[in-house]
């Protein structure tokens, strides 16, 4: 492999992972933009999305899915989209439920209180994922080792699209990630900018009190935000599972950290910021894996975060906040 | 805060210390339980949580990576005392130096980041907690990776030999009175030994009784409580409270919030590092880096929040409840169930140990919802 | 002072004589509070200066700042260079020299450390040193430039203020609130605080006595130990004034001190403000109560749409047609 090929390969990895991170980061940044809460549980909602997807795969029968004769060729894509949508809807409603049950009563409480509650929710969800991992299903290892990571079956064909002789590998999974995340991001941008509810979101983000006075149903806006954020997280979890072929009850913690770093990097509260931040984090990780060392990658990402925060505390695209006096 | 008249502790603090001091007697009554070992962990976590309380409770900064400073303290202690390295400064110097190194680490992390908005800081500290683990795992030449540095020394009594000599001069009569608590708690002493002969051994911590070791830790906790109390009622404590209540107003009163926060951060980190050193000494090893993971940080946060954010008494009480639950009751329950043949390791649901996250999570959520001030209230403002 | 494209306060110059009471009045949205915020450093003025006794209170680019930048740059450089090769250095200095249970050759270890440290070549030693120095120096510089003119700097120069929306420390007792205001006159350091040294305790007792005296001055001494949040609204305003006075400021800025007060309280307040002036503190206040403004001010500045439209004694302002128009249409003033 030449230097250029190595570099290109890392760009592909980085972009694919970065897109997934960006989807999760959108969930953080949207919720933060509306209710100024770091939804700490978002990463674990993401985990549960992956668990649901694996359960569905298990229920449908992993072997049947992998056999092209039973389902036909296009059905792989059908299955993928089906999983993305199901996990997305599940995570969306889970997120809304968490908001209604835990965050809503605390809306006026100090920020610290809300954040601690969010951490609490995160731990509860981790425990649920642990129990879920012990489910007596074949895909979960028959319930033997709940805490172990679970194999996620290969849904898309793994061959290299650039031809078998090419040193740079571009798989169908990479394309699938682009094919799903990019429309989602465009859709989200259109939704926020063009629809009534989207306008309500932007208004609520700027000034919730004024928005309520102008007749915007802020409760509905907040629910919609959690729903969309959760949906994106759920969709991301399926892609993550397909891309990495493994899930575990703690996967949301690391993914959540990366995603949050991405959101901060891009400027929290800014949608394009989260997208750019996610892709950047993906690329930084891939480059660090290749040119520094995989075991130091987390340290590199952290160093980048610190540098950004020192030199640009509101992120790349964030606005400077001014306190009202 | 009422005018403080001179006293080392408040009645509440005396009460929790007395409660802790009484636990070795449970061992005496039921020799099969052996509480003294696990109770050392309670003391370690109490010190850790007191450090976190300085940052979260008093200054209002959410630090989600306190375990990182505990790890730094533990490894500093390990490097400074282990026989594989040339330093071997002994328990007490290593304890002090660990605290200093912890404070330095806290300062190093805080200096560039404390100007951030509160919730950013939470994530930065969380990230720090993760990368410290990574770093310790990766720097195998220094930290021995996942093996941990061992063996590490137990604490020694300072001037123990002199005290022994002095006491043996005084004679049996007075010795018998001073040491009643010690000997009764010492189950390992054989009945044939005379009280006078037993006495010097009370101070020789490296001998077999876990009770003595526990009491030494308890004394350290008392010292920490006293120092925390000094800070709470000092100019610095007032600056912390002011920054917590209203940073901008504090700024307009000529307080530099960044400096006040940095001091809080360093003080909290120092206490966490001391806790880490005591933990390493308790284990006789630093253990693996994963011993100081996010779960430890959250346990410390739970202790502070369940006990009563901002209250020293509350935090110590929280440590007794939470650590008692997760390190004493749950493992005991699991063992008992295994012995009785109820449930199997196959089934996640049947092992009480697996409910830890759920218990922590529920504790946090429910406390925030219904009693955000914790068991022990310190707030004076009437809720409107 | 601009926010985005909006100019909130433009070309307003307020000169205040020492030992006088100056009022700033104007309709809502005229930019009075913004002016205060710009003066006290809460907002960074786009252009313009605040002079206290002829000096601009801000952190100068002094030799101390330069030193700080150099020291930070050096420290970061060394830190980074050590960090990237910490294992190699450890191996060379400690592990290679230590033989189990034998005396450790300290000098040899230090020498080995330095040879290894400087022996890393360009990528091992010099590049990390360079990057570290650049980042450290730049970071320190950025932080200095961001904190050049923050409220604590202005407050240290002797400008105290109160807030339009009261901003007390709600969980602290009244006396503690006042002692916080006194902070710039206290000296207890970390060690003193940690060990409760006698000097720290003495200072504390003294500070509390001074605070009690101030509470007495504003008439709140009987509730000194209650939490500030439990105080009625009018009293909270007086507590804010006491807290601001505690720093012994040269100038005190009062933002609508009479808001929400009943007539009796207002009269008390006027007496209090005069007493503050008579004690030697210069007073600048924003107020809507014309009775207060006209009753106590030595000089009045009138703002409208962010610009100053008049300045003069209460008598002059009362008769200035532009002011009458600006204020409540045509209604007579005061």
| Distance (Å) from the alpha carbon of A120 to chain B's nearest alpha carbon | 4
Q: How many degrees, rounded to 5, is the angle at CA C315 between CA C311 and CA C317?
A: 35
pLDDT at residue A167 greater than cutoff 90: no
| Distance (Å) from the alpha carbon of A321 to chain B's nearest alpha carbon | 10
B116 CB-near residues (< 8 Å, 6+ apart)? A309, A313, B124
| Distance (Å) from the alpha carbon of A80 to chain B's nearest alpha carbon | 30
Contact C87 B142 (CB under 8 A): yes
Q: What is the mean pLDDT of residues A84-113?
A: 92
Q: How confident is the model at residue A129 (pLDDT cuts 50, 70, 90)?
A: very high
> Using one digit for the tens of pLDDT, what is the confidence trace for C69-84?
999 999 999 999 998 8
Of residues B156 and A56, more confidence is placed in A56
**What is residue B10's predicted lDDT score, i.e. its pLDDT?**
85
Cis before C41? omega within 30: no
Highest mean pLDDT of the ranges A62-71, B1-10, B220-229, C15-24: B220-229
Of residues A61 and C219, more confidence is placed in C219
**What is residue C5's predicted lDDT score, i.e. its pLDDT?**
53
* Partner residue opposite C180 with nearest CB, options B108, B242, B379: B242
In angstroms, how far is CA B332 from the centroid of its own chain? 21
pLDDT at residue A72 greater than cutoff 70: no
Residue A90 inside a domain? The answer is yes
Chain B touched by A68 (CB under 8 Å): no
Give the structural domain span for A120. 22-135+157-250
Residue A79 inside a domain? The answer is yes
| Distance (Å) from the alpha carbon of C330 to chain B's nearest alpha carbon | 38
B276 CB-near residues (< 8 Å, 6+ apart)? B48, B69, B70, B71, B72, B73, B74, B75, B76, B77, B98, B102, B292
List chains touching A (3+ CB pairs under 8 A). Answer: B, C
C160: chain B residues, CB-CB within 8 Å = 252-253
Residue A231 inside a domain? The answer is yes
Q: How confident is the model at residue A170 (pLDDT cuts 50, 70, 90)?
A: confident
Gap between the Cα atoms of A302 and B113, Å rounded: 12
B140: chain C residues, CB-CB within 8 Å = 87
Residue B373 inside a domain? The answer is no
Asked which of B31-40, B202-211, C44-53, C273-282 is least confident by mean pLDDT, the reply is B202-211
Gap between the Cα atoms of B215 and B202, Å rounded: 11
pLDDT at residue C284 greater than cutoff 80: yes
Rounded to the nearest integer, the mean pLDDT of chain C is 86
**What is residue A65's predicted lDDT score, i.e. its pLDDT?**
62
C187 neighbors C206 (Cβ within 8 angstroms): no
Rounded to the nearest integer, the mean pLDDT of chain B is 82
> Using one digit for the tens of pLDDT, what is the confidence trace for B39-57?
889 999 999 999 999 999 9
Residue B228 inside a domain? The answer is yes
H/E stretch holding B359 reads: helix B356-370
**What is residue B173's predicted lDDT score, i.e. its pLDDT?**
35
**What is residue B186's predicted lDDT score, i.e. its pLDDT?**
38
* Partner residue opposite A325 with nearest CB, options C37, C135, C143: C37
Give the structural domain span for B226. 38-156+205-293
Of residues B70 and C56, more confidence is placed in B70
Residue A151 inside a domain? The answer is no
Q: How confident is the model at residue A112 (pLDDT cuts 50, 70, 90)?
A: confident
Window 238-277 of B: residues touching C by CB (8 A cutoff) are 238-239, 241-242, 245-246, 248-258, 263
Q: How confident is the model at residue B375 (pLDDT cuts 50, 70, 90)?
A: confident
List chains touching B (3+ CB pairs under 8 A). Answer: A, C
CB atoms closer than 10 angstroms to residue A43: 27
**What is residue B383's predicted lDDT score, i.e. its pLDDT?**
41
* Percent of chain B residues topping a pLDDT of 90: 40
**What is residue B195's predicted lDDT score, i.e. its pLDDT?**
44
Q: What is the mean pLDDT of residues C148-173?
A: 89
> What's the token pair of residue A28?
């953080």
**pTM (two decimals):** 0.90
Gap between the Cα atoms of B230 and C201, Å rounded: 10
Residue A176 inside a domain? The answer is yes
Q: How many structural domains compose chain B?
A: 1
Q: How confident is the model at residue A262 (pLDDT cuts 50, 70, 90)?
A: very high
Residue of C nearest to A292 (CA): C84
A62 CB-near residues (< 8 Å, 6+ apart)? A138, A139, A153
**What is residue C101's predicted lDDT score, i.e. its pLDDT?**
78
A302: chain B residues, CB-CB within 8 Å = 127-128, 130-131
Residue A71 inside a domain? The answer is yes
Gap between the Cα atoms of B313 and A260, Å rounded: 35
Environment class of C315 (CB within 10 Å of its CB; exposed 0-12, middle 13-18, buried 19+): exposed
**What is residue B381's predicted lDDT score, i.e. its pLDDT?**
54
Residue B73 inside a domain? The answer is yes
Q: B223 vs A284, B4, B217, B275, B324, CA distance in Å?
A: 46, 18, 10, 13, 22
> Using one digit for the tens of pLDDT, what is the confidence trace for C93-103?
888 888 887 88
> Using one digit for the tens of pLDDT, what is the confidence trace for B127-138?
999 999 999 999
**What is residue B172's predicted lDDT score, i.e. its pLDDT?**
37
Dihedral sign for Cα A288, A293, A297, A301, please: negative
Q: In chain C, what are the domains?
A: 2-59+150-326 (3.40.50.300), 63-146 (no CATH)
* Pick from A18, A91, A42: nearest CA to A265: A18
Gap between the Cα atoms of C237 and C165, Å rounded: 9
**What is residue C224's predicted lDDT score, i.e. its pLDDT?**
87
Q: How confident is the model at residue A269 (pLDDT cuts 50, 70, 90)?
A: confident
**What is residue B174's predicted lDDT score, i.e. its pLDDT?**
36
Q: B294-307 and B66-81 are packed helices; what angle lies between their axes, rounded to 10 degrees?
A: 120
B292 neighbors B70 (Cβ within 8 angstroms): yes
Q: B62 vs A115, B57, B189, C111, CA distance in Å?
A: 9, 9, 47, 43
Q: How many structural domains compose chain A?
A: 1
Rounded to the nearest integer, the mean pLDDT of chain A is 87
Q: What is the mean pLDDT of residues C107-114?
A: 92
Q: How confident is the model at residue B168 (pLDDT cuts 50, 70, 90)?
A: low
Q: How confident is the model at residue B204 (pLDDT cuts 50, 70, 90)?
A: low
pLDDT at residue A200 greater than cutoff 60: yes
Of residues B276 and B123, more confidence is placed in B276
Contact A310 C142 (CB under 8 A): yes
Residue A190 inside a domain? The answer is yes
Roughly how many angstroms between the first and final C-alpha of chain C, as a whole number? 30
Residue B20 inside a domain? The answer is no
Chain B touched by C82 (CB under 8 Å): no
- Strands, sheet with C251-255, edge to edge from the N-terminal-most edge strand: C159-161, C251-255, C282-286, C21-25, C299-304, C307-312
pLDDT at residue A179 greater than cutoff 50: yes
């Amino acid at each position: 492999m030449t230097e250029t090929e190595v570099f290109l390969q890392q760009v592909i990895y980085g972009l694919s992972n970065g897109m997934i991170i960006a989807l999760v980061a959108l969930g953080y940044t949207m919720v933060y933009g509306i209710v100024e809460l770091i939804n700490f549980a978002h990463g674990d909602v993401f985990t549960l999305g992956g668990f649901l997807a694996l359960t569905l795969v298990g229920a449908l029968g992993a072997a049947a899915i992998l056999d092209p004769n039973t389902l036909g060729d296009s059905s792989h894509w059908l299955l993928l989209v089906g999983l993305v949508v199901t996990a997305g809807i599940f995570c969306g409603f889970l997120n809304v439920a968490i908001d209604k049950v835990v965050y809503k009563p605390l809306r006026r409480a100090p920020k610290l209180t809300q954040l601690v509650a969010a951490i609490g929710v995160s731990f509860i969800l981790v425990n649920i994922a642990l129990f879920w991992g012990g489910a007596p299903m074949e895909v979960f290892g028959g319930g033997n080792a709940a805490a172990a990571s679970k194999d996620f079956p290969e849904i898309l064909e793994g061959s290299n699209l650039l031809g078998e002789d090419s040193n740079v590998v571009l798989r169908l999974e990479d394309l699938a990630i682009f094919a799903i995340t990019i429309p989602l991001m465009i859709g989200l941008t259109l939704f926020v900018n063009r629809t009534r509810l989207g306008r309500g979101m932007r208004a609520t983000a700027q000034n919730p009190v004024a928005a309520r006075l102008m007749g915007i149903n802020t409760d509905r806006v907040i629910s919609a935000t959690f729903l969309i954020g959760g949906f994106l997280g759920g969709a991301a979890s399926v892609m993550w599972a397909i891309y990495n072929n493994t899930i575990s009850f703690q996967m949301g913690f690391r993914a959540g950290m990366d995603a949050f770093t991405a959101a901060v990097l891009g400027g929290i509260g800014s949608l394009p910021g989260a997208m750019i931040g996610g892709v950047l984090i993906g690329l930084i990780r891939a480059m660090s894996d290749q040119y520094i060392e995989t075991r130091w990658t987390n340290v590199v990402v952290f160093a980048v975060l610190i540098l950004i925060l020192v030199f640009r505390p509101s992120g790349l695209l964030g606005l400077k906040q001014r306190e009202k006096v | 805060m009422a005018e403080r008249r001179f006293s080392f502790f408040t009645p509440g603090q005396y009460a929790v210390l007395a409660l802790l001091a009484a636990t070795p007697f449970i061992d005496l009554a039921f020799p099969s339980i052996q509480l003294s070992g696990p109770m050392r962990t309670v003391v370690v976590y109490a010190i850790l949580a007191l450090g976190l309380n300085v940052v979260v409770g008093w200054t209002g900064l959410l630090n989600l990576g306190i375990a990182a400073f505990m790890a730094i303290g533990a490894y500093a202690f390990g490097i400074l005392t282990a026989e594989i390295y040339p330093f071997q400064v002994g328990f007490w110097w290593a304890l002090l130096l660990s605290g200093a190194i912890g404070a330095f680490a806290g300062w190093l992390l805080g200096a560039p980041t404390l100007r951030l908005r509160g919730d950013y800081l939470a994530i930065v500290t969380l990230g720090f907690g993760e990368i410290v683990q990574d770093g310790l795992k990766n720097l195998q030449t220094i930290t021995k990776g996942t093996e941990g540095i061992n063996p590490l020394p137990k604490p020694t009594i300072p001037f123990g030999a002199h005290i022994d000599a002095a006491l043996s001069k005084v004679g049996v009569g007075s010795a018998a009175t001073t040491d009643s608590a010690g000997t009764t708690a010492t189950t390992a002493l054989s009945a044939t030994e005379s009280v006078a002969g037993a006495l010097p051994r009370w101070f020789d911590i490296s001998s077999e009784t876990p009770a003595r070791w526990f009491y030494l830790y308890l004394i350290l906790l008392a010292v920490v409580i006293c120092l925390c109390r000094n800070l709470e009622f000092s100019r610095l404590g007032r600056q912390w409270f002011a920054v917590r209540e209203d940073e901008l107003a504090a700024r307009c009163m000529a307080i530099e919030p960044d400096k006040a926060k940095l001091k809080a951060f360093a003080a909290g980190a120092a206490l966490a590092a001391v806790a880490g050193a005591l933990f390493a000494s308790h284990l006789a090893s630093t253990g693996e880096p994963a011993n100081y993971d996010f779960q430890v940080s959250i346990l410390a946060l739970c202790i502070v929040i369940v006990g009563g954010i901002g209250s020293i008494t509350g935090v110590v009480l929280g440590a007794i409840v939470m650590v008692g639950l997760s390190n004493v009751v749950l493992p005991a329950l699991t063992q008992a169930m295994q012995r009785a043949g109820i449930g199997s390791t196959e089934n996640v649901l049947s092992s009480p140990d697996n409910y830890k996250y759920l218990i922590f999570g529920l504790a946090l959520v429910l406390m925030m919802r219904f009693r955000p001030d914790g068991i022990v209230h310190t707030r004076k403002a009437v809720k409107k | 002072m601009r926010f985005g494209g909006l100019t909130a306060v433009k070309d307003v110059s307020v000169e205040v004589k020492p030992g006088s009471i100056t009022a700033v009045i104007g309709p809502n949205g005229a930019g009075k509070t913004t002016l205060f915020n710009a003066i006290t450093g809460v907002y960074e003025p786009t252009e313009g200066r605040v002079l206290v006794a002829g000096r601009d209170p801000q952190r100068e680019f002094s030799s101390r700042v330069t030193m700080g930048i150099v020291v930070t740059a050096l420290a970061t450089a060394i830190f980074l260079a050590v960090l990237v090769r910490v294992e190699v250095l450890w191996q060379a200095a400690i592990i290679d020299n230590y033989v189990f249970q034998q005396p450790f050759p300290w000098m040899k270890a230090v020498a080995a450390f330095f040879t290894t440290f400087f022996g890393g070549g360009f990528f091992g030693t010099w590049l990390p040193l360079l990057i570290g120095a650049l980042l450290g120096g730049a970071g320190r510089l950025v932080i200095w430039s961001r904190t050049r003119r923050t409220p604590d700097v202005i407050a240290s120069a002797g400008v105290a203020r109160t807030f339009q929306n009261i901003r007390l420390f709600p969980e602290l007792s009244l006396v503690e609130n006042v002692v916080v205001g006194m902070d710039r006159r206290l000296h207890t350091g970390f060690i003193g605080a940690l060990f409760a040294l006698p000097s720290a305790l003495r200072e504390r007792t003294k500070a509390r006595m001074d605070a009690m005296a101030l509470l007495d001055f504003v008439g709140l001494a009987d509730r000194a130990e209650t939490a500030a949040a439990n105080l009625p609204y009018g009293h909270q305003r007086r507590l804010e004034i006491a807290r601001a006075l505690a720093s012994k400021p040269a100038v005190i800025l009062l933002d609508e001190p009479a808001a929400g007060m009943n007539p009796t309280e207002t009269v008390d307040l006027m007496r209090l403000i005069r007493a503050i002036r008579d004690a030697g503190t210069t007073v600048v206040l924003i107020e809507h109560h014309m009775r207060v403004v006209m009753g106590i001010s030595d000089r009045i500045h009138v703002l409208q749409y962010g610009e100053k439209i008049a300045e003069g004694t209460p008598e002059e302002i009362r008769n200035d047609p532009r002011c009458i128009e600006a204020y409540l249409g045509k209604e007579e003033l005061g």
